[in-house]
Amino acid sequence: MESIQLKTNRKGVCASKLLVLFFSLFFAGNLSSQCDATIGGVYYFCDPDEMDFFVGFTVNGGSGTFNVVDLNGNVTNNSGYYTIPRIAIPMTGIPLSPSTSEYIQFGPFSNDDVFDIVLQNGGCTIPVLSGSYTCVGKSNTNAMCGATVPYYEIVFNSSNAQEVDILENNRGGNMGGDCCGDGRAVEFKIEIGTGIAGITLTGEGAGGFGNATILSGSVMDMNYCMNADSSELNDPICLEPGINTVIFIKDGNDDNSYTITPVPSFNVISIALTESCDMYAIDVGGTSEITWTAIDNGRGDGIIDPGLDNLDCGSGPGVNIICNSLTFSYNTSVHGVIDQMFCGGKTYKYQVATVDSCAGAVMDTLEITVYPDYGINLSFECDDPQSVTINSEITGNGSTCMNYLYNWVGEGVMTPSLSGAMPGQTYTLEVTLPGLDTICVVSQSITIPDVLFDITSCPPGGNALCLSQIPAATPGSVVYVNVCGTSEMIFVSETQDMGSGCVGDPLTFTRTYTLDIDGDPMTTNDQVSCDQVFIVVDDVAPIVTAPGDEAFEGCEAGDVETVSNFAYSTISVDITNEDYTTEGLMITEVCGIQSVEYIDEMMEVGCVVTVNRTYTVIDLCNNSNSDIQVFTITDMTPPTLTGGMNGSGECTGSDPSMNAGYIAWRDSHAGAMTTDIC
């Protein structure tokens, strides 16, 4: 969709939405967003009898029951020229008499009172009128028609163009006066502002209006009645900009009701843009007989809409364009797509001519500038875990144009990017073009996630007997969130304190996993970390299993060398650096051995020698354990006897035992030989 800028030749500025606000110098009727009734038709009424004043107004639409209140307390709530205890606006929408609106004349106020009039209904407050006023010196007819002429003051302009209704009020003045003739009068002071050419005055009441006279003029002097314009009821009364006096004169003294309706001047008004920002609803005020003509825009680019194909009175583009209320919608099929070749827009100019009810033949021009369509894409990049920079990209046919205006709503930043945006917050960028900043705004919002990047689960730590028992790093088991990019890496670093890792002096081992979202460890503002901690304490003694017991034949303790690689010793022998595994000594120790020793102890009972060999293992934290190997040494082989012979000899005496030969035989064991291993 294209964006449009509209202007007229008289203002030469960008058009804006015409907000229909009942507001002027004298009153404000903006509807609070929580309320469903509007205020219009505000006027001042000067009571000729008391010379104080009332404030009249109309309540349109809405539902419920409202109180009329002067916040300054000058008038009792709900009091008025008409006795209205409360203003009842039916929720059913059934029309009230005499019409669908409720008419109020609130007061009286003393001259120069400062007031602040509102409607109230519970928590709903609708402003009506605030300021101060006096009736003194206001009426111009007193000198001509007497001091009892009722006086009304009304303001009409482009922001306040609602009719004013005045109910059942009598006229005043002296019958037969210089100005009033044989009738009595009502004076209306009408202030004419921008967009208003005059008024129509209608009325109703007893006696009819066949003999009524209406005088109007902007100069009030003693010749007023002679010089004033004379009009009939219901006819347009053309007035000059500024203050005008209108006097209604009629025979008799009956009560009348009046409706004063502003007559708009001839002008081209942009009422609204559609939400797509490529369509205008256009009203031509002050006339219904109009002529539309496409004219050159004067820029020398040849852009013109000769077939009025951008205009639609309801019968289709370019068909029967004679209405005073129509839409402008850029016709792509006729004029082509607007792209980056027209970053400054394509301007179409139209001439509108008519015969104005007050000004006669008049003419106005309308310029509409159509820009390339564009949209917004928002993305963000992380600055650190707590802030991002939001970047914008213009899309559409105007993506390469450079003349955009940026506004980050509520941030006071007017650049394409917004830095320092916080997680969990929503940010809105409005983009428009010069001259369209109040009527054509493209906006886009982005919500930053609550968490930008963070580690949500770290590998668990624990306890370990020694460093060698700590498992290897597992970066793949780190669970994390990262909405900032796809180049993340997990870096691992390890530290340990000076503890020995023994009971009473634990060692703390810390493994840090660092998530780096751009993969560059040198930039630290885009990193988050978690620690895996192990407490190292070796409080478990080695497991010692001595070699199996040995039983063998032998004679003494030293014989253990026949079955062991280690000699018998009653003094501890350090075999830490020996190959004790071939001996059959089994040691289980995961954290490291400080020493391995053995010592022997011998016991002898009869022919059995027992050697208890104790192996003792001490780990690096002085935890120790022992086990015993038993050697049983037994002499199990009897002695052997070999040789020997019978002896003979001469008997040399009476005692054979004294025989020398016998003695020699005996002493030589008869030549026998004995052996024994022990």
Q: Mean pLDDT throughout 296-315?
A: 92
Q: What are the start-end ranges of the H helices in 85-198? A: 142-145
Residue 122 pLDDT grade (very low, low, confident, very high; cuts 50, 70, 90):
confident
pTM more than 0.85: no
* pLDDT for residue 15 is more than 50: no
Rounded to whole angstroms, the Cα distance separating 526 from 510 reads 22
Residue 134 half-sphere exposure toward CB, CA atoms < 13 A? 4
Confidence of residue 548 (pLDDT cuts 50, 70, 90): very high
Q: Is 179 exposed, middle or buried (0-12, 13-18, 19+ CB in 10 A)?
A: buried
Asked if residue 10 has pLDDT above 50, the reply is no
pLDDT band at 8 (very low <50, low <70, confident <90, very high): very low
Pinpoint the alpha helices (H) of 87-126.
none
pLDDT score, position 539: 95
CB contact at 8 A, 675 and 639: yes
| pLDDT at residue 96 greater than cutoff 80 | no
Cα–Cα distance between 509 and 537 in angstroms, integer? 11
Find all residues with CB under 8 Å of 639, minimum gap 6, and list them: 674, 675, 676
Q: CATH assignment of 375-447, given 2.115.10, 3.40.640, 2.60.40, 1.10.3210?
A: 2.60.40
Rounded (5°) CA angle 441-446-451 = 165
Distance of alpha carbon 196 from alpha carbon 157, whole angstroms: 6
56-80 average pLDDT score? 82
**Taking 90 as the threshold, does the pLDDT of residue 21 lie above it?**
no
| Contact residues for 313 (Cβ-Cβ < 8 A; gap 6+) | 319, 320, 321, 322, 323, 325, 326
pLDDT tens column, 620-644: 999 999 999 999 999 888 888 887 7
- Beta strand residue intervals within 357-461, DSSP E: 360-371, 375-384, 387-395, 405-408, 418-421, 426-432, 442-447, 453-457
H-helix segments, 404-458: none
Please give the structure tokens belonging to residue 147.
């001091």
Q: Which CATH number fits domain 142-263: 1.10.3470, 2.60.120, 1.10.8, 3.40.50?
A: 2.60.120
More confident residue, 533 or 643: 533
pLDDT in tens, 387-435: 999 999 999 888 888 889 999 999 999 999 999 999 999 999 999 888 7
Q: What is the 3-state secondary structure (H, E, C) of 579-628?
A: CHHHHCCEEECCCCEEEEEEEEEEEEECCEEEEEEEEEEEECCCCEEEEE
CA distances from 133 to 68, 112, 161 (A): 18, 5, 22
Cα→Cα distances 142→188, 364, 476, 523, 560, Å: 13, 42, 98, 87, 150
- Of 190-204, 352-366, 370-384, which range is least confident? 352-366
pLDDT of res. 226: 55
pLDDT tens-digit map of 153-208: 999 887 788 888 887 677 776 655 555 566 778 888 999 888 888 888 887 776 66
Choose the weakest-confidence range: 10-19, 118-127, 501-510. Answer: 10-19
Class of 543-634 in CATH:
mainly beta
Residue with tokens 């007989």: 289
Please provide the average confidence, as pLDDT, over all residues in the chain.
Answer: 82
The total of other beta-carbon atoms located within 10 Å of residue 204's CB is 13
